[in-house]
Every structure is written in C-alpha cells, then in structure tokens.
Structure 1
Amino acid sequence: MTPTPRKVLLFVLEGQRYALPSMDVRELVRAVSLTPLPRAPDVVEGLLNLRGQLLPVLDLRRRFRLPARPLSPADHFIIARAGPREVGLRVDRAEGLLPLEPGALDEAPTTLPGVGYVAGAVKLPEGLVLVHDLKTFLSEAEALALDTALTAVPEAT
C-alpha cells in the first residue's frame, strides 16, 4: 500500500493544474533539448542527459491527450521516480510544493475506468487537482519497450 503523501508538487499543463506526491520527486530543472530515443514507446519524448545520467523524458501531453507543442526554454522538467526508474516529465510550469492537511487527499475510486495512474484528488479553493501515481504511469508493454530502447544507448560520460 502506498503511503498518503504529506506534500504534493503542483504543476501546470495547458492551463490545468496537476500534482505528484513529493516523495516521488527528486528535483526540478529547466528544459533543454532532448535526444531522440529510437524504438522507445510513444509516451517517451526523448532522452535527457542530466549531469551524466541518461533519463527518459515522458510526454505528459500525449498521455493526457493534450495538443502537442514544441519544447520551450520556459518549460520545466520534473525529475521523479516512476516505479523502479527515474524519469523526466516535461511540464509547462512547476508551481511548488503544497503541504496537505490530514484528509485533504481523496483517494481515486478504483471502480472508475481511466483513472489507472491517478492516486487521488486534492480539493483546493481554485478547484480540483488530480494527483498522479507514476508507478502506474507506464504500462508493462511500454516499460519493456523503454528498457529495450535504453539498452541500445551507450552510457553517458
């Protein structure tokens, strides 16, 4: 069972706010150009060389069915843990950490279709914010395809 987060990192995509449990987040970095990763699943936007560590960057726009747009220097990468691996997530803007009051997170109902990677929702005065569970973000087939694509990449120096 996943522990209830005490803080979440708020971020924005296409004007909509989303959140990740802070315990999954390692750091925030400014967006830089990515290296294409041949044979990676569609949800992988490319590879980021972060101080010698090669990280796949996941395309949240594609996953959330939002319109594609080119990478901008104003974008942020959230470096986070998605199950057993670290990944980058390109977002329009990271807003910062939000401490959660006890009971502020409503866990996602497991009976609704299409909420597989949603851990719950936080009710804010400005509206509802979905909290995403990166452990379930990649399907098993996508994780295997990503592993295969990454094995063909030489180690960063």
Structure 2
Amino acid sequence: MNPLPEARPQEVLLFTLERQRYGLPVEDVRELVRAARLTHLPQAPDVVEGLLNLRGELLPVLDLRRRFRHPARPLSPMDHFIVARAGPRPVALRVDRAEGLHVIAAHEWDSSPRELPGVGFVAGVAKLPDGLVLVHDLRSFLSEAEALQLDTALGDRPGPA
C-alpha cells in the first residue's frame, strides 16, 4: 500500500537529521514535542534509543541516527520528538529539527525508490525545488523481529493470531 497516493497532493512533515531532510506522511504524525530525558529500556532492539514518558504515556523512541547510519550524538534540549504511529504502535522519533508541513504535488512524487533493495522503510521521494526528500513509511520501519523484541521489552503480550 502506498501511503502517498500519486493521484492527489499529500501533506508531509519535513524534518532534518544531520543536515539532511526527510519526511513523514502527516497521517502518521500525532504531535511534535521538545526533547526530554529518556529512560533506558533493557532488552529493547538496538533501534530503540529509550523510553519517553509523555504525559503518562510510555513511548519507545526510535533511533533514526542508527537506522540511517548517521553518527550517534547525545540528546540535546534543541532536539524535537515526532510522536507518530509505526503501524499499530505509537512511537517517538528524535530529530534535529522539525521544519513543518509541505504539500507534495503529484508531479513532485516518485514512488520507485521503495522498490530498491535496502530502502524497505522508504515510501518514496519528494522532488522539491530545493532538493530530494526521502519520505518514510513507519509501518515498515521496525522489522518483525524488532517489533517482537520491543513487545517483550515493553512487557506486551501478543494477542491471538
């Protein structure tokens, strides 16, 4: 399923990580919050940076730096968390900066990169006047093994199949 239909314009949230821009379909985004202290989550997969307590809701924070092969760096008060949905799971993504919403016109959208090996969590590319932006599909961001490992670390029990 293509999260950004090519037939009509679609809004994405643009964000930066290590001076590179990325995007998420706005339907997957719940809110933006300033970075806050994280709690280590034992037994979580490597892609989980920690656990965020957001107004009583415990959210795993996905480590985009690790996933996108950027160098690690300590959490900064200037960082943002994007609270979003990775499939059925609410998560937070630590980014350097959320830039805001952008409407991608049908002629600016290319879905062919998702067919390339190694880009399983990329829904496509927005061809904007000032450069290309990879738009990510959070539904495929966690592998099945990572999702199961995260369920275990959070103490979740899978429901009946």
Question: Please, what TM-score do these two structures have when normalized by structure 1?
Answer: 0.93
2:128 counterpart of 1:121? no
Counterpart position of 1:139: 143
The letter for the 1-side match of 2:126 is V
Counterpart position of 2:22: 18
Is the Cα contact below 8 Å between 1:45 and 1:59 reproduced in 2? yes
Distance in 1, Cα, partners of 2:120 & 2:107:
21
Distance in 1, Cα, partners of 2:80 & 2:114:
31
Deviation at 1:109, TM superposition (A): 3.6
Q: Identity percentage over the alignment?
A: 74
2:109 counterpart of 1:105? yes
Cα RMSD (Å): 1.3
Deviation at 1:125, TM superposition (A): 1.5
Q: Tell me how many residue pairs correspond in the alignment.
A: 152
1:12-43 CA-to-partner distances (Å, cap 9, x unmatched) read: 00000000000000000000010000000000
In structure 1, stretches of 5+ residues that fail to align are 153-157
Is the Cα contact below 8 Å between 2:4 and 2:123 reproduced in 1? no
Shift in CA distance, 120/56, structure 1 to aligned 2, threshold 3 Å: same
Question: Please, what TM-score do these two structures have when normalized by structure 2?
Answer: 0.91
Counterpart position of 1:46: 50
Counterpart position of 1:60: 64
The letter for the 2-side match of 1:2 is N
Deviation at 1:104, TM superposition (A): 2.0
